């Protein structure tokens, strides 16, 4: 992969923006729920909470779908010219599968999808850590990928093993999306600067 990620720096930037937008939606949902009134006995609380969790999981699945398409695009561009195209395409297929499952599976399979999301985040986090160590062209930018991978792995493990639910889950997804979004956005623009240097040379 000869400067491939620098050439497609905008993909990382767009992934970062989508993550930040997802975090914003999660914040809005948590805020709206905490300001709801008129239900002193909690009659509708469960239904409202289920709708909020379903909505944020749906959006996370949509994010995974788009993220997967971007990963496959990078993998195709790198095919035959680098060592990481297989990892990128595998990550992309896994992400797309999660996105499609989230979009089309019935609502009563929510817990199954949730555990799949945890497995997806854990797997993609480990793959990002691996890619970070493979960034021979950008050793000074390696911490961005490693940090994103660590955050994703922690999020995945938390979803699978902590049993967190309700607004806590929505807040956790929001924190994950915001953190990885900021990391990828900054990383993308750092690579944009690197791409300009390559062009000048």
pLDDT digits (tens, 9 = 90+) for 49-59: 667 777 888 88
Tell me the whole-structure pTM to 2 decimals. 0.77
Q: How far apart are CA 137 and CA 168, in angstroms?
A: 39
> What confidence score (pLDDT) does residue 44 get?
44
Inside any domain, residue 108: yes
> In residues, how long is the chain?
201
Inside any domain, residue 39: no
Domain that holds residue 147: 4-32+44-200
Inside any domain, residue 14: yes
Q: How far apart are CA 114 and CA 153, in angstroms?
A: 15
Helix (H) or strand (E) holding 98: helix 85-104
Inside any domain, residue 78: yes
Inside any domain, residue 37: no
Sign of CA dihedral 186, 164, 100, 25: negative
Q: What SS3 state is found at 36? A: coil
Number of domains in the chain: 1
Inside any domain, residue 60: yes
φ/ψ of residue 80, rounded to 5? 80, 0
pLDDT digits (tens, 9 = 90+) for 115-162: 888 888 898 888 888 877 776 655 666 788 789 889 999 999 998 888
Q: How far apart are CA 136 and CA 147, in angstroms?
A: 17
Inside any domain, residue 89: yes
Grade residue 195 by pLDDT with cuts at 50, 70 and 90.
Answer: low
Inside any domain, residue 186: yes
Residue 148's CB: how many other CB atoms inside 10 A?
27
Q: How far apart are CA 195 and CA 200, in angstroms?
A: 9
């Amino acid at each position: 992969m000869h400067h491939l990620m620098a050439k497609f720096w905008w993909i990382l930037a767009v992934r970062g923006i989508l993550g930040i937008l997802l975090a914003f939606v999660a914040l809005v949902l948590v805020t709206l729920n905490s300001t709801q009134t008129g239900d002193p006995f909690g009659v509708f609380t469960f239904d409202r909470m289920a709708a909020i969790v379903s909505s944020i999981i749906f959006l996370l699945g949509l994010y995974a779908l788009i993220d997967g398409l971007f990963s496959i695009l990078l993998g195709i561009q790198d095919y035959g010219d680098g060592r990481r195209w297989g990892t990128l395409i595998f990550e992309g297929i896994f992400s797309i599968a999660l996105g499609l499952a989230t979009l089309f599976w019935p609502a009563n399979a929510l817990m199954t999808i949730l555990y799949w999301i945890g497995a997806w985040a854990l797997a993609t986090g480990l793959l990002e850590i691996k890619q970070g160590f493979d960034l021979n062209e950008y050793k000074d930018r390696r911490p961005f990928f490693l940090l994103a991978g660590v955050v994703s792995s922690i999020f995945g493990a938390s979803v699978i093993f902590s049993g967190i639910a309700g607004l806590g889950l929505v807040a956790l997804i929001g924190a994950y999306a915001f953190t990885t979004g900021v990391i990828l956005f900054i990383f993308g623009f750092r690579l944009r600067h690197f791409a300009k240097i390559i062009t000048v040379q």
